[in-house]
Amino acid sequence: MGPFLGLSRIVLVLALTTLIGCTTTRIEYDRMTGTQYPQPVTVSGDDVNLTTIYWQGERVVTVDENTTNIAPLTGPANPLDPDQYDYINPAELETVEAANRRDPIGPVSFNCGLWNAFTCTRYHLYGIVVNHYREGNCGIACRNQGMLGLMYAGAGGATNDRSAFVSFWKNSIVNSDNGKYLRSTAHEVGHAFNLNHCDGDGSTTIMNSTGTVGNTYNYQFSASSLDHLQNHNDNEVWPGVSPRDYACPHVH
C-alpha cells in the first residue's frame, strides 16, 4: 500500500471512529455556478482526496458538498471599471459566507456510537469556490489573478479563528489543472489547521507555497507538519477555535 489509505480503508476508519467515539472536522463546501470542486486523484493506485490527505496527520476530515448554485457577484456595469465583477474582495466574500454558511463556527458535541454510548465532537470549516479572482482590501491596486486560494478567516479576517477558506476559480491553474487545484485546496485547509508555509519542506510537500513546488509536488505533509497535526494542543490545531499562529517553528 502506498502512503495513502485506499477508499475502503478510509470508510473502515470512519466507521470505527463513529463506533467508539470520535473527533472530526466537517468541511461545509459551497461553490458558485460555473465552478467545480477539486476532484480526487490517483497516486500509486490509491485514491487521494482531502480525507485521505488529512488522515496522514491522524485528523479525520469529512467533506459535505453543500450549496452548488451560488450566483457570482454582478451588478450595474461601471465604464470606469469594466472588470469589477471578475474580482471578489474580503468584505464581499464574508457577505457570501454569512448568507450561505449553515454550520456554526466552533465545535459541537453529540451522542454517537453504538446505542449513543459515546460523545463525538465535530469541528467546522467553511469552504467556497468562487467564480472570481481575488481582490485585496486596497481595491483595484490589490487585484490578483495569480492567487489560487486563501484561508481568509485568518489574522486579517473578520473572525480571526481559522474557520473558512476560498478557491478562486477564474485563476487559470484552478480551472484547468485539477491536481494542482486539489493540492492548493489541501494547502488552504492546512492553514485552517494552523499550519504555515514554514511547515513545508521547502521542496514538494503540501504546505510549501505554489511558487515553491511548481510542477514538482506531492500530497504529503512534511515531518514538521505531521508533528503539528499529530502532537500539538487540539485547540491550536482544529479549525474555528483559536487565532492563527504564525510562529516558525510552532511553539504550542
Distance in angstroms (rounded) separating the CA atoms of residues 37 and 51: 14
pLDDT digits (tens, 9 = 90+) for 140-168: 999 999 999 999 886 566 678 999 999 99
Would you place residue 14 in the very low, low, confident or very high pLDDT band (cuts 50, 70, 90)? low
Distance in angstroms (rounded) separating the CA atoms of residues 192 and 186: 10
Predicted TM-score (pTM) of this structure: 0.90
Look at residue 81 and tell me if it is in a domain.
Answer: yes
Q: Which residue has the cell 459566507?
A: 97
Cis peptide before 249 (omega within 30 of 0): yes
pLDDT digits (tens, 9 = 90+) for 220-242: 999 999 999 999 999 999 999 99
HSE at residue 205, side-chain half, CA atoms within 13 A, is 20
pLDDT digits (tens, 9 = 90+) for 91-138: 999 999 999 999 999 999 998 877 777 889 999 999 999 999 999 999
Alpha carbon 185 to chain centroid, angstroms: 5
Look at residue 151 and tell me if it is in a domain.
Answer: yes
Q: Count up the domains in the chain and report the number.
A: 1
Would you place residue 19 in the very low, low, confident or very high pLDDT band (cuts 50, 70, 90)? very low
More confident residue, 3 or 61: 61
| Helical (H) or strand (E) element with 128 | strand 118-130
Look at residue 201 and tell me if it is in a domain.
Answer: yes
Look at residue 244 and tell me if it is in a domain.
Answer: no
User: Does residue 1 carry a pLDDT above 50?
Assistant: no
Sign, CA dihedral 157-241-97-172, equals: positive
Q: What is the pLDDT, as a whole number, of residue 158?
A: 67
User: Does residue 215 carry a pLDDT above 80?
Assistant: yes
Amino acid at 156: G
Look at residue 245 and tell me if it is in a domain.
Answer: no
Print the domain residue range for 112: 7-236
Look at residue 248 and tell me if it is in a domain.
Answer: no
User: Does residue 81 carry a pLDDT above 70?
Assistant: yes
pLDDT digits (tens, 9 = 90+) for 22-49: 899 999 999 999 999 999 999 999 999 9
Q: Can you name the residues that pair with 121 across neighbouring β-strands?
A: 23, 109
Q: How far is CA 116 from CA 11, 24, 171, 246, in A?
A: 20, 17, 45, 39
Look at residue 191 and tell me if it is in a domain.
Answer: yes
Amino acid at 38: P
SS3 8: helix
What does the pLDDT average to over 38-65?
97
Domain with residue 75: its CATH number is 3.40.390.10
Q: Which residue has the cell 482590501?
A: 137
Q: What is the DSSP letter of 236?
A: G
Distance in angstroms (rounded) separating the CA atoms of residues 165 and 216: 24
User: Does residue 21 carry a pLDDT above 50?
Assistant: no
Q: What is the pLDDT, as a whole number, of residue 122?
A: 97
List of residues 6+ apart from 81 with CB closer than 8 A: 140
Q: What is the pLDDT, as a whole number, of residue 218?
A: 97
HSE at residue 77, side-chain half, CA atoms within 13 A, is 2
Would you place residue 62 in the very low, low, confident or very high pLDDT band (cuts 50, 70, 90)? very high
N-terminal to C-terminal alpha carbon distance within the chain: 33
Look at residue 78 and tell me if it is in a domain.
Answer: yes
